[in-house]
Structure 1
Amino acid sequence: MQLPSALTPLRHPAFRMLWLANLCSNTGMWMQNTGAGWLMTSLAPSPLMVSMVQVASLLPVFLLALPAGALADIVDRRRFLIFAQAWIAGAGTLLAILAWTGQLGPWGLVALTFAIGVGTAMNSPAWAATTPETVPRQDLTGAIVLNGIGFNLSRTIGPALGGFTVAAAGAEATFALNAVSFLVVILALVLWKREAPRASLPKEHFLSAIRAGLGYTRASPVLRGIMLRGFVFFLFAAVLWGLLPLLVRQQLGLGPEWFGIMLAAMGIGAVGAGFLLPSLRARLDRSGTVTAAAVLTGAALVLLGQATHWAVAMLAMLLYGVGWLAGASTLQASAQLSVPSWVRARAIGIYQLVTFGGLTLGAGFGGWGGESFGIGYAMGLSGVLCAVTGLLVRRYPIEAPSAELAGQAGDASPPAVPRPEPAAQSLAALLNDDSGRVLEAVRYRIDPADRAAFLAAMAACRQVRLRSGAQGWRLYEDVAHPELWVELWLMESWTEHLREEERMTEWDRSILARAAALHRGSAAPEAARYLNVMPGLPG
């Protein structure tokens, strides 16, 4: 029996095991979120305090996504994930005990929600970066979409279970079940036989890893476009999370089970969208999909803000789920596919820092708007802004031109910089992270008629150098001999220089090859490397 195309990644055993475990933990997390949101409407029933529960769960990701991504790239990823899951389980257990004994106040709920968010923040970049390790590249986009389906399937099941659990046994029961669900993930991670990539160089230092991740992001126009579009999408779409409990309770006059049902309706819409996305990709590129998702999500928020009957609200939640899944999973897939493996967790961490920053601001904006103008007005205004800004930023690219990449990868021109000589490689034990900065230089002889083409090629080379870890880059032209040029860039150490070669993709090498092809001379461009032998001096 052939699986539907949306379920194809489940044929890989490691991905299937981790996907099912993650489905369990996400279901528990949504039950806990439902219980926490509803409990706050009793402890402190103001829009601002209810939205603070969402802010407390999202803010840690904004604060910790970058260091979490760096750690996930430089330590054993499986052990790191086990630690993060154990942290969440411990914080959830404490939350359940305090709620059961009646010692939990509104700020205690916010604080422990924040603690659980810390575990989620540490877990998210590492977990997202495991997907390419469990499926081949041709199934990666489908696996990311399937992760979104699983997340929203749990969003369908979890809130409904959470709403009925709150009605039957109180919010504390949802907190306890959430803590138990993370034990399932720990077991799956223990059973996962991860094949860690072999490294010929020492592990990166924490601060160096962060600098390299930030440098890669600054030099990647596609990744910057993904983050910008993700920020504006989540900024205005996130208003729902802070205001939905009060909309159900006050505007619709319904109980906690209906809060869960509304979230389940959204999950149903998202799961349906996940199954439709493979066929939608044949008609729309990723950029068009994200734009359409922003418009649909905005329309759903406007409709929900005006709803006074449960049926209208259910329809709005279904549409919101479709838009949310289409936008979120497409942006996440673009982020993962746009970066090489060595920087993937860091890039995802930076992407999550930006997008969760939007989510945090959006949830806070929703609470302030609901307090100042009313729930319906705040949702409607956010919906309009979500659609309008989605249209305004659609010109920013979120995927590399694959056809051009394929053509460049086959370029037979020599690379612009020869690889280090074997003798130089053998010096790695001596020229290590304490060796001081390394200045690299490449000298070109360029026909003056090719000056404009060379400058364009070198602008692309600059991005390659910075993506590969360079701390600075310059291009100089000889005043007396305008055909002579020198390209200079700095690496933090000799070890970082050796990492530079490992970090380059075929696309990067083809860009360097295009610059080298403009060189005029019998030999390749001359490359040289200089070690800073007096690192204590300025400059």
Structure 2
Amino acid sequence: MSTSPAASAPQPQATLATPFTYAVFRAIWIASVVSNIGTWMQNVAGVWLVTTLTTSALLVALMQTATSLPSFLLSMPAGAIGDLVDRRKLLLVTQGFMGVVAFGLGALTLLGEISALGVLAFTFLLGIGAALNAPIWQTVTTELVPRPVLPFAITLNGVSNNIARAMGPAIGGVIIAYYSPGWVFLLNGISFVATWLVVYRWRRPAEISSGPAENFIGALRAGMRYVQYSPAIYAVLVRTFGFSFGASAMWALLSVVTARRLHLSSGSYGVLLSWLGAGAITGALLMGRAGHRLNFNQRVLLGTLVFVGTNVALALVPSEYGLFPVMFLSGIAWLMVMTSFSTTVQLHVPKWVQARVVSMYMLVFQAGLSVGSIVWGELADRVSLQTALLGAAGWMLLSMTLALPFPMRQPEGLDLTPAENWPDPAVEGEAIDPDDGPVVVMIEYQVPAADQPAFRQAVERLTRLRLRDGALRAGVFTDVARPEQITEFFYVATWGEHQRQHHRFTREDQAVEAQVRQFHTNSEPPRVTHFLAFPRTPNVEVATPFETMEGQQ
């Protein structure tokens, strides 16, 4: 398979169909549809099988825990691993692992040798595979299509899951009714094999090493530090939690509304979910045609407003027929909001930290859904169903105000390719071990007094970049004897970490640095000095990051 998006990149403006012109994306997207259908079939069959094997409601409820708990435990480690190892190889491992687990569960079920606890154990193992797989599967899309096409590719990934949500439970239910859940598990195993074969055929170019290799713990720290000092990413995470916390009421209480308030059967519940899935697919088509008319911030606000109405309708609309158009619009809004969050995250993050940031986004999203489900469910039990749904509507209306302190920034025009503009410092004597440190870097500028207020504003952005890319402390000092001489400094734990800073610096960051340097009036470039701990201290333990100097946040 060809792996270079540029090889056949169409020149006209991208549309929703454009990602399908790239052979690898097309193959992997089809495989994801098949795999997602298998996963939804598995979910239905697993819950049904446990229901028939035990009378314990707790064991049935634990099926959801077995599915979601691995995501809480492994999402961030999975992101770190995804940025440290070859993503194609990791996908082969995770897809193969899940295939083996599904085949094992299917065989034991058909042989009549499975128990309720056994189903829980196998479901937990599948959850581990899914948790390790998810951040990589999200980020691999960026390697399959060029940046202008990426928003449409991410939208199509959302469509894939909604097609599976509409088809998987229905297919699984038919197989369970006429045959056995064991056959569903085997079919799910086959879906993993199909995906494994597609990934195996993908000839991903070998990555060129950029700087000293990170260790696992250091990679986790780097990912969290990147989010902490990236306002665009931090804003998305806050908005994601606000939305998912309120939207969780629909997912958690829809079945209760169907059964207890409207007194309908499980078939009606399935029909309502089908309307939701149809809305999501329609939303993808609408975004493909007219999505450019709204920026990501406007899409999230509009989608949140729709969900305000969704929760109100679930609380007050007296018939299922009145809820059909509500669920359809909710599906459109869900896809619009989730693709806006996901696209914003992926387009604002360079490749070296992409899987880690995506894993944190997924963790925050799942946390919002999980905590929200508990809160709204408890409120429904203690007060009333209507009160819980109206409370969720009020929360979502209030969450729209988050757009003021946490606006979502547009990613158009960002150039996140590595700048590689920092020359390696001259080193006298023996080579420096990557674990030697700490390291202090000082950069001296000559800035006239009249320009210093503007310089200060510009250097604050650069300071944040230093902290984001690995510095434990950063700041700016003025020479009291020569007020026009200003020294920027940043403190890094090891020499290897400083070398990684060189390779993390992007062309977008280079533009920020250029804005700072334009205030330098000396004919010579700013003087850069590197200081290493004396005597050299190998294997310095990474300290807890210091706060920046006051006024440099």
Residue 228 of structure 2 is aligned to residue 218 of structure 1: yes
Q: 2:240 aligns with which of 230, 238, 246?
A: 230
Residue 497 of structure 2 is aligned to residue 488 of structure 1: no
Deviation at 1:483, TM superposition (A): 1.7
Distance 1:243 1:168 in 2: 30
Question: Which residue of 2 is the match for residue 501 of structure 1?
Answer: 502
Judge conservation of contact 2:28–2:198 (CA < 8 Å) in 1. yes
Deviation at 1:262, TM superposition (A): 2.9
Q: Secondary structure of 2:406's match? A: coil
Q: 1:361 aligns with which of 363, 366, 371?
A: 371
Q: Secondary structure of 2:16's match? A: helix
Alignment deviations for residues 43-82 of structure 1 (CA, whole Å, 9 cap, x no partner): 5686x87665444433322332211111001111111112
Question: Which residue of 1 is the match for residue 7 of structure 2?
Answer: none
Q: Give TM-score scaled by structure 1 length.
A: 0.88
Question: Which residue of 1 is the match for residue 251 of structure 2?
Answer: 241
Question: Which residue of 2 is the match for residue 126 of structure 1?
Answer: 136
Aligned pairs (5 A) from 1:141-180: 141-169=151-179, 171-180=181-190
Task: Name the structure where helix makes up a greater proportion of residues.
Answer: 1
Distance 1:247 1:34 in 2: 20
Distance 1:112 1:371 in 2: 31
Distance 2:90 2:314 in 1: 40
Question: Which residue of 2 is the match for residue 315 of structure 1?
Answer: 325
Distance 1:472 1:174 in 2: 55
Alignment deviations for residues 90-109 of structure 1 (CA, whole Å, 9 cap, x no partner): 4434554565538443x665
Structure with higher RCO (Cα < 8 A, 6+ apart)? 1
Judge conservation of contact 1:65–1:122 (CA < 8 Å) in 2. yes
Residue 393 of structure 2 is aligned to residue 388 of structure 1: no
Q: Do the aligned partners of residues 474 and 518 (structure 1) sit closer, same or farther apart at CA in structure 2, a change above 3 Å counting?
A: same
Question: Which residue of 2 is the match for residue 412 of structure 1?
Answer: none
Q: Do the aligned partners of residues 40 and 313 (structure 1) sit closer, same or farther apart at CA in structure 2, a change above 3 Å counting?
A: farther
Distance 1:459 1:389 in 2: 29
Q: 1:29 aligns with which of 39, 50, 64?
A: 39
Aligned pairs (5 A) from 1:393-404: 393=403, 395-400=405-410, 402=412
Q: Secondary structure of 1:441's match? A: strand
Question: Which residue of 1 is the match for residue 537 of structure 2?
Answer: 535
Question: Which residue of 1 is the match for residue 469 of structure 2?
Answer: 468
Question: Which residue of 2 is the match for residue 205 of structure 1?
Answer: 215
Question: Which residue of 2 is the match for residue 351 of structure 1?
Answer: 361
Question: Which residue of 2 is the match for residue 137 of structure 1?
Answer: 147
Q: Do the aligned partners of residues 450 and 3 (structure 1) sit closer, same or farther apart at CA in structure 2, a change above 3 Å counting?
A: closer
Alignment deviations for residues 268-296 of structure 1 (CA, whole Å, 9 cap, x no partner): 11010011113343321100101111111
Residue 449 of structure 2 is aligned to residue 441 of structure 1: no
In terms of mean alpha carbon deviation, does 124-133 or 30-39 score higher?
Answer: 30-39
Q: What is the one-letter code of the residue matched to 1:535? A: T
Alignment deviations for residues 373-407 of structure 1 (CA, whole Å, 9 cap, x no partner): 4545434432332333134445412224746x68x
Q: Do the aligned partners of residues 382 and 321 (structure 1) sit closer, same or farther apart at CA in structure 2, a change above 3 Å counting?
A: same
Deviation at 1:479, TM superposition (A): 2.5
Question: Which residue of 1 is the match for residue 4 of structure 2?
Answer: none
Q: Give TM-score scaled by structure 2 length.
A: 0.86
Q: Percent identity?
A: 32
Q: 1:372 aligns with which of 376, 382, 389?
A: 382
Q: What is the one-letter code of the residue matched to 1:12? A: Y
Q: Do the aligned partners of residues 179 and 228 (structure 1) sit closer, same or farther apart at CA in structure 2, a change above 3 Å counting?
A: same
Distance 2:309 2:300 in 1: 14
Distance 1:59 1:396 in 2: 29
Deviation at 1:503, TM superposition (A): 1.3
Q: Secondary structure of 1:282's match? A: helix
Residue 354 of structure 2 is aligned to residue 328 of structure 1: no
Residue 513 of structure 2 is aligned to residue 516 of structure 1: no
Q: Secondary structure of 1:490's match? A: strand
Unaligned runs of 5+ in 1: 410-414
Residue 411 of structure 2 is aligned to residue 419 of structure 1: no
Alignment deviations for residues 347-397 of structure 1 (CA, whole Å, 9 cap, x no partner): 111111211111221233344334334545434432332333134445412
Deviation at 1:29, TM superposition (A): 1.2
Judge conservation of contact 1:166–1:256 (CA < 8 Å) in 2. no
Q: Do the aligned partners of residues 393 and 275 (structure 1) sit closer, same or farther apart at CA in structure 2, a change above 3 Å counting?
A: same
Residue 21 of structure 2 is aligned to residue 11 of structure 1: yes
Deviation at 1:302, TM superposition (A): 2.7
Judge conservation of contact 2:75–2:131 (CA < 8 Å) in 1. yes
Distance 1:183 1:482 in 2: 68
